[in-house]
């Protein structure tokens, strides 16, 4: 019977003689440099990885669709949102923030929640987290925050001390740390957590009216979290629990889904609002701006090649489409550079030509050459202006999204304080008014376990006195008591 398997070839398509044996001088002699297939195989093997993301390294993802369920044309002219029932293909990537590849999925951490919408007007990337707030409000502090969460340069170990040192010297982090140290910091699965833009964006409708917006992806599976003990037990059982769960649920045809809801603020409301609405460390209370359902996201297809479609997936906050733009949220404006630059570093300047990152519509611009470029424009002029029919921008139809909050000189300064711009008001209300007694007990236990391990005493004292006691005196006292700071407990 003839072997019907395809013949092994080099990357150039030439057939090779063996998959098992190198070309040698006799049966016992040395390998030969002329064994070009061996050299190609080894050279490719040691180049199989691209640089890791600096953060959000460990993750997974799946493909699916977003469907419009309500008319949103009063708020945005984005084409993929222009009709009820319209579906747009999506890729969602879920991840941890601080852990490397191989890290336990269930460790306490914020989870990344990134969605790429493949729209007819280009790719739109909504890059958020499973929390509605973040640790810092200015991009100047973002690298420092990440450095405090990652491994120390001298020891190669992560440091609770560094984390608490940074957090307690950055009071704006209190809201996010309250969420992180609750059971929300250990979601049961990716399917059982919400996603949020966290940042504020701008929508513009066909009439030119502008609105400030926040995205909420509400899990249809229901919120489920692990206790700290359950999360640690799962670390010993399955380091890839969340990644495996997402894949297996889709294989079982239990397709995870999220309701997409928006908070929408008229532009005129921002200047007089009681706290700065562009501060990512704060939520907009739902009593002021209730969420409005607009659609539904369903994930129904696993990647066929994890490296090609998930590892190389490139999300860029700057990828927006007509009808959607940035806001004065400083983290948005900083991330609009950093994410694209990260992609160019990891997979090269032509990363957008990879199938997982390529838009549905044809790209037309004057970029040329660079590593791994394979799409080209023939004899089209590679400069503008030109006399040969190259693409041209249209400032009338596609003006840059813009806004005016107040006329002011460009400067480096903190946000101007609003009446309730206190970093501890909202986490205090979360503790007192939202959390159940069991939630509060778990929060105290989780904080104490983390703060009480390898953290210097003066930082522990600061954490209690200047951080948790300001969130709520009872919370501060309970944490102090559990970590042995009896003199500060009441």
Residues belonging to the active site: 56, 129
Exposed / middle / buried, residue 405 (Cβ in 10 Å: 0-12, 13-18, 19+): middle
Q: CA 192 to CA 241: how far, in whole Å?
A: 13
**Separation of first and last alpha carbons in the chain:** 85
Length of the chain: 490
| Among candidate residues 94, 474, 457, the one with its CA nearest the CA of residue 258 | 94
How is residue 212 written in tokens? 């400030």
| Kind of pairing between the strands at 201-204 and 195-196 | unpaired
């Amino acid at each position: 019977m003839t072997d019907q398997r395809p013949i092994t070839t080099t990357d150039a398509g030439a057939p090779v003689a063996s998959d098992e044996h190198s070309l040698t001088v006799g049966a016992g002699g040395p390998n030969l440099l002329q064994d070009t297939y061996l050299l190609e195989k080894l050279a490719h093997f040691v180049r199989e990885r691209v640089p890791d993301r600096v953060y959000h390294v460990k993750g997974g993802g799946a493909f699916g669709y977003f469907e419009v369920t309500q008319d949103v044309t009063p708020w945005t002219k984005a084409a993929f949102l222009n009709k009820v029932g319209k579906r747009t293909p999506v890729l969602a990537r879920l991840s941890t923030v601080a852990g490397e590849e191989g890290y336990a999925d269930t460790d306490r951490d914020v989870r990344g929640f990134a969605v790429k919408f493949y729209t007819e007007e280009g790719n739109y990337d909504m890059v958020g987290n499973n929390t509605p707030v973040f640790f810092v409000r200015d991009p100047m502090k973002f690298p420092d925050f990440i450095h405090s969460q990652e491994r120390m340069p001298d020891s190669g170990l992560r440091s609770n001390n560094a984390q608490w040192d940074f957090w307690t010297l950055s009071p704006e982090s209190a809201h996010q740390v309250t969420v992180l140290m609750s059971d929300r910091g250990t979601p049961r699965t990716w399917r059982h957590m919400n996603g949020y833009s966290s940042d504020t964006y701008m929508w513009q409708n066909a009439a030119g009216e502008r609105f400030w917006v926040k995205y909420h992806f509400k899990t249809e599976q229901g919120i489920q979290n692990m206790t700290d003990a359950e999360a640690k037990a799962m670390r010993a059982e399955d380091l890839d629990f969340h990644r495996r769960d997402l894949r297996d649920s889709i294989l079982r045809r239990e397709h995870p889904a999220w309701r997409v809801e928006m908070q929408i603020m008229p532009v005129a409301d921002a200047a007089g609002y009681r706290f700065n609405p562009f501060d990512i460390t704060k939520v907009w209370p739902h009593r002021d701006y209730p969420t409005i359902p607009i659609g539904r996201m369903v994930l129904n297809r696993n990647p066929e090649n994890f490296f090609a479609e998930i590892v190389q997936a490139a999300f860029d906050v700057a990828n927006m489409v007509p009808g959607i733009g940035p806001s004065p949220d400083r983290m948005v404006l900083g991330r609009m550079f950093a994410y694209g630059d990260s992609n160019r570093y990891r997979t090269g300047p032509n990363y957008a030509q990879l199938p997982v990152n390529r838009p549905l519509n044809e790209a037309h611009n004057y970029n040329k050459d660079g590593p791994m470029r394979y799409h080209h424009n023939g004899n089209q002029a590679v400069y503008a202006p030109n006399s040969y029919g190259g693409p041209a921008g249209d400032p009338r139809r596609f003006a840059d999204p813009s806004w005016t909050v107040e006329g002011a000189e460009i400067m480096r300064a903190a946000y101007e304080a609003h009446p309730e711009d206190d970093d501890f008001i909202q986490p205090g209300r979360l503790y007192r008014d939202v959390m159940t007694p069991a939630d509060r007990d778990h929060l105290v236990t989780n904080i104490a376990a983390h703060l009480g391990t390898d953290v210097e005493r003066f930082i522990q004292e600061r954490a209690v006195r200047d951080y948790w006691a300001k969130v709520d005196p009872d919370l501060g006292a309970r944490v102090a008591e559990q970590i042995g700071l009896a003199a500060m407990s009441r």
